[in-house]
Amino acid sequence: MGIILYGEQKKHDTGAIVIIDTEGEFAGTITPRDVVMGLLNDWNPPADSASQEPFLESAKQHLSKTIGETLQLHQPTAMPESSLAELIRLAGQYEYECIPIVEEGRVEGLVYISDLFKATANLALSPDTEGIILD
């Protein structure tokens, strides 16, 4: 598997990391939520806050997990020509922070839930429209 850090390459914060397989095809994404949930899945951090050592030792054991162990399989994707309504439907149906835009196995970009909110809010608040109708 490989990793593509789109945001880091463009000097932006990275909200998701795209994972590609050995063939260069989209395999999934890793988000901050995935990392935290992957770490916490079977981990009960020590409650002793007086010393960081027990916490760090416990964390080290869980940080050895691979991307494959944390990666959520079967993530929904969209095409570059997907409508806003289709993206909103996908976002509402699944618990992902972003939807990869994939064409012929290659990731063309990521649409974040916050992007969908902004696009929808802009449509709803536009003086030229009467609101939003999703089909």
The H or E element containing residue 66 is none
86: confidence class by pLDDT, cuts 50, 70, 90: very high
User: In the 8-state DSSP scheme, what is residue 129?
Assistant: S
More confident residue, 35 or 115: 115
- For the cut 60, the answer to whether the pLDDT of residue 28 exceeds it is yes
8: confidence class by pLDDT, cuts 50, 70, 90: very low
Least confident of 38-47, 52-61, 80-89: 38-47
Residue 39 is assigned to a structural domain of this protein: yes
- What total of structural domains would you count in the chain? 1
Domain of residue 109, residue span: 2-125
Query: What is the CATH classification number for the domain harbouring 27?
Result: 3.10.580.10
Residue 20 is assigned to a structural domain of this protein: yes
Question: Residues of the chain with pLDDT > 70: what percent?
Answer: 66
Q: Which of 6, 1, 11 is nearest to 109 (CA)?
A: 6
The label of the residue with tokens 């010393």 reads: 51
Mean pLDDT, rounded, for 82-93: 90
Mean pLDDT, rounded, for 3-14: 52
Total-model pTM: 0.65
Q: For residue range 105-119, what is the model confidence (pLDDT) as tens digits?
A: 888 888 988 888 888
Residue 132 is assigned to a structural domain of this protein: no
Residue 135 is assigned to a structural domain of this protein: no
Residue 44 is assigned to a structural domain of this protein: yes
Radius of gyration of the chain (CA): 18
